[in-house]
Amino acid sequence: PTDAPDAAQARARSAPAPVTDVAKLCVCDLLVAQCDVNCCCDPDCSADDFSLFTTCSVPVVTGDSQLCSQKAAVYSLDVEANPPERIFKLIDQVNPSIFCIHATNYKQALYLKSPEIPTPENFDQLLDKFGGASFSAEPDSWNLDTDAQNPPDANETYRYEYGVPVQTEDAFLRLPSPVVSSWCSDANPAGFLVNQATKCIRSVSVEKCDSIQALSMLFYINSSILAVTDIKSVFQVNITVQSIVVQSLNGMRTLLNSSDVLRLPMVLDELCINAVLGVNYHITHTDTGEIIEAAAAFVLGAISKEALSIEQSFEISFTQENTQPVPLSGNPGYVVGLPVRAGFRPQGYPFPAGFVFASSNKHNQLTILQSTSTQDCLEAQGTRAPVLFGYNMISGCKLRITAAMKCQPLAQTLLDVLKGQSFPEYVASFGNSQAQDVLDWVPITQLHISEQMISNTLQSSCQIPVSLGIEVKWTKYGSLANPQARIVNVTATTTTTTLKQLPSGRERIIPITSSVVFTDISSPAEPGYKAWPTINIKLPFDFFYPFV
Amino acid sequence: LSSLPLQMLLYINGVYYIFYFLATLAMIMYKSQVFSYPDDFLAPDLAVLFLMAVLEVPRLYLGFKGNLTEAEAPLGLSLGLTVGSMVLCVYLLLWQTYVLWADVLLNAVLLSAYGLESGLKVTAIAAFVS
């Protein structure tokens, strides 16, 4: 039995009190303030509604039938009368068994247990008990076992693993990247050991330049990275500023001497300066998955008034401590699109116990002439494009020959232009060839072809190189299901032509070309059997039993 | 002279009590399986039952001895123990966690036997003293 004011108070603290009066209980009363069909106990039904019913879906409502004597509400329809009416009787039901319950002194015996109402105090304990996929009736004894097992596992599970988002003290290390469209989304976490480079567009306006968080250096370095994935860990790594490069409006970049000062965006002369255009994170980690250092290199630039959006580029790279990162071009076979690695064998080392050193290109790559905007060969200084495996390339420049040019220096200059400052002697046969394994390196074969002009004689005139063609022959190596690319032969063919003396005042333009071609010389795969299958026919040992 | 009705009643009481103890114990085990019977409700009920069994043995022995030797001291002691047993019996009748109809019958019979016994003991003591 419940009292109205008590019930309201009780409801605030706990679940509503159960209704125990059988006359008021009605399980088929589902619609509120409406009459349910064939529900004889529904208080919302009038006598007219009862006359339309055919049967009573709930004929009797009783309490627990194990009690010796209990009240029961019996509902029935009297179909004889006209119109049919509902009969409600409250009777005493008697349980004849000798083991019927005469009385109980235990309140919750015959009722379902009311669940605990979660409050801020007991929420954690309830979550522990009932938050899992299953819960046992004896939570305490189970807790003891799991606690004993946890400490040995704790250290192993808290290390970073490949792909696990790098955690900072409040969330994750963000690497803004384009999601769906090209606009920057700040919700992309950086994965451990996942080297990423992303470019995305951010909408900006010069007026709100200092209030846009993503343009300020602080946004990228203010939270410190957790050394291990344990949130409660005290080991945190601050992100230091490694270098700041300032980019002017016309694209020229200068490296600042001091990178200690934090440069925040501000409005100056209708320009927004010190806006972040690029961030390059370098994370150093141990071989057990702990982060020990984090550095960020910034590119700051200026935004003009008309610009509505800028492109930001972000990069993150992971290096193991005490190691120098060597970018591999495949493991083991070359991956299409990665640069071909090349190097030298220093003089004096006996073959084959030699070491192949890197070329002057700091990335140890085979390079090819890169055309400039003016296409003048004599101006092509410095930048060369790396040869990417599998990509046939051709590039060139135009050489303006005047009468005053001397042949020999010109030939030497052109050779430098075509081959670069130090053309390598060896090319790595596999993408992961180590410098110590000389047998994994393929020597570059140099060929010279001279184009003959019909009318001139050979030796006396001067030959200048006009084209360099590098042919890389590669084959498929390894298993049929996962073939690896392996470079077998590299041939660099220099074609020279004679330089005709020009009459003074005239000038000629000769095209100089440089090309790289990749040829697949893999032989078609042959399936191999370990041994030819044999037909094994033998009579059983005791075939001729009675006679042998 | 020793009281014959008291002697008979004590004897019947002894036999009946063995049956009563086994039946009540069996019913408590049945209740604990069928109904929800938490440990902190089960313990007092079992404790009362075993205490009553422990009290019954000296109670009956003293009763027999006192009646046959016509001595009032053991009989008086037995009367005191009977009062204690009656209290425990009332507990099992009214304040058990689950009181089944069979429980009511058994305890009512035992209580009435105790009551009759007490009356007869008082009479016997009165007879022996005078």
CB pair distance less than 8 Å for A99 and B41: no
Please tell me the pTM assigned to this model.
Answer: 0.42
Question: Pseudo-torsion of CA B10, B16, B17, B19, nearest 10°?
Answer: 160
pLDDT band of residue B24 (cuts 50, 70, 90) is very high
Rounded mean pLDDT, A520-541: 80
CA dist., res. A198 & res. A176, Å (int)? 7
Q: For residue B100, list chain A residues with Cβ-Cβ distance below 8 A.
A: 98-102
Q: Pick from A410, A416, A439, A317: which is nearest to A360 by CA? A: A416
Contact A98 B102 (CB under 8 A): yes
Q: Which chain B residues have a beta carbon less than 8 Å from that of A102?
A: 99-101, 103-104
Mean pLDDT of A137-161: 54
Beta carbons of A105 and B36 less than 8 Å apart? no
Mean pLDDT of the A153-179 span: 79
Number of separate domains in chain B: 1
Question: Between A and B, how many residue pairs show a Cβ–Cβ distance under 8 A?
Answer: 39
What pLDDT does B49 receive? 95
Residues of A in Cβ contact (< 8 Å) with B98: 101, 104, 106, 109
Q: What is the pLDDT of residue A362?
A: 55
Residue B35 Cα, gap to closest chain A Cα (Å): 7
Interface contact B98-A101, CB threshold 8 A: yes
Which residue, among A65, A102, A114, would best test binding to B if mutated, counting the most B CBs under 10 Å from its CB?
A: A102
**Residue A41 confidence (pLDDT):** 86
Touching B: A residues 108-147, CB under 8 Å: 108-109
| pLDDT mean over B32-43 | 88
**Percent of chain A's residues with pLDDT above 70:** 85
pLDDT at residue number A231? 67
Please say if the pLDDT value at position A436 is more than 80.
no
Q: How confident is the model at residue B89 (pLDDT cuts 50, 70, 90)?
A: very high
Instruction: Name the pLDDT band for A382 (thresholds 50, 70, 90).
Output: low
Cβ separation of A109 and B97 shorter than 8 Å? yes
Q: Give whole-number Cα distances, B38 to A109, A135, A272, B27, B41, in Å.
A: 10, 19, 75, 15, 6
- Residue type at A288 in one-letter notation: T
Structure tokens at A130: 């009932």
H helices of A2-94, in order, are 4-13, 47-52
pLDDT at residue A10, as a whole number: 43
Q: Answer whether B103 sits within 8 Å of A102, measured CB to CB.
A: yes
* A105/B97 Cβ within 8 A: yes
A106 CB neighbours in chain B (<8 A) are 41, 97-98
For the stretch A436-472, what's the b/e string if a residue is b when 16 or more beta carbons lie within 10 angstroms of its beta carbon?
A: eebebbbebeeeeeeeeeeeeeeeeebbbbbbbbbbb
Asked if the Cβ–Cβ distance from B104 to A102 is below 8 Å, we say yes
Lowest mean pLDDT among A296-305, A348-357, A406-415: A348-357
User: What count of other Cβ atoms lies within 10 Å of the Cβ of residue A195?
Assistant: 14
Best mutation target, B31, B32, B96, B98, to test chain A (most A CBs within 10 A): B98
Distance from CA of A65 to the nearest CA of B (A): 13
The residue with greater pLDDT, A418 or A377, is A418
* B24 → chain A, closest CA residue: A99
Inform me whether the pLDDT recorded for A8 exceeds 50. no
Contact between chains at A101 and B100 (C-beta distance less than 8 A): yes
pLDDT by residue (tens digit) across B3-17? 899 999 999 999 999
Residues of the domain holding B125: 4-129
3-state class (DSSP) for residue A343? strand
- Calculate mean pLDDT across residues B100-127: 94
Query: In this structure, what are the phi and psi dihedrals at residue A54, rounded to the nearest 5 degrees?
Result: -105, -35
pLDDT given at position A13: 57
Give me the pLDDT at residue A1, please.
Answer: 46
* Higher-confidence position of A345 and A447: A447
Pick the residue with more confidence: A526 or B66? B66
Within an 8 Å CB–CB cutoff, is residue B91 touching chain A?
A: no
For residue B30, the chain A residues in CB contact (below 8 A) are 99
Tell me the pLDDT of chain A averaged across its residues.
Answer: 80
**In chain A, which residues have their Cβ closer than 8 Å to the Cβ of B35?**
101, 109
Q: Do B99 and A102 touch (CB under 8 A)?
A: yes
Residue B19 has pLDDT above 50, yes or no: yes
- Cβ of A109 within 8 Å of Cβ of B100? The answer is no
Q: Which residue of B has its CA nearest to A113?
A: B36
Highest mean pLDDT among A279-283, A337-341, A409-413, B16-20: B16-20
Question: Six-digit token pair at A392?
Answer: 């046939």
Calculate how close chain B gets to A131, using CA atoms only, in Å.
25
Is the model's pLDDT at A152 over the cut of 50?
no
CA distance A524 to A527: 10
Ranking A91-100, A305-314, A376-385, A529-538 by mean pLDDT, the lowest is A376-385
Tell whether B19 is within 8 A of chain A (Cβ).
no
Cβ–Cβ contact B104 with A under 8 A: yes
Handedness of CA A294, A299, A301, A307 (dihedral sign): negative
Give the pLDDT band of residue A459 (cuts 50, 70, 90). Answer: low
Residue numbers in A near B26 (CB within 8 A): none
Chain A touched by B35 (CB under 8 Å): yes
- What is the distance in angstroms between the Cα of A113 and the nearest Cα belonging to chain B? 11
Burial class of residue A245 (count of CB atoms within 10 Å of its CB; 0-12, 13-18, 19+):
middle
Is 90 exceeded by the pLDDT of residue A32? no
* Chain A residues within 8 A of B36 when measuring between CB atoms: 108-109
On whether any CB of chain B is under 8 Å from the CB of A106, the answer is yes
Calculate mean pLDDT across residues A332-339.
89
Is the model's pLDDT at A261 over the cut of 60?
yes
Q: What is the mean pLDDT of chain B?
A: 93
Q: Give percent of chain A with pLDDT exceeding 90.
A: 11
Task: Tell me the C-alpha distance between A83 and A463, whole Å.
Answer: 124
pLDDT at residue number A355: 54
Interface contact A105, partner B, CB < 8 A: yes
At position A177, the amino acid (one-letter code) is: S
Please give the pLDDT value at position A475. Answer: 93
Which residue does chain B place closest to A108, by CA atoms? B36
Cβ-nearest to A109 among B98, B101, B103:
B98
The pLDDT assigned to A20 comes to 76
Closest of A81, A85, A28 to residue A57, by C-alpha: A28
Coil, strand or helix: which one is B78?
A: helix
Q: What is the pLDDT of residue B11?
A: 94
Average confidence (pLDDT) over A491-500? 88
Instruction: Compute the average pLDDT of residues B44-72.
Output: 93
List the single range of A15-24, A389-398, A424-433, B78-87 with lowest mean pLDDT: A15-24
Q: What pLDDT score does A501 carry? A: 75
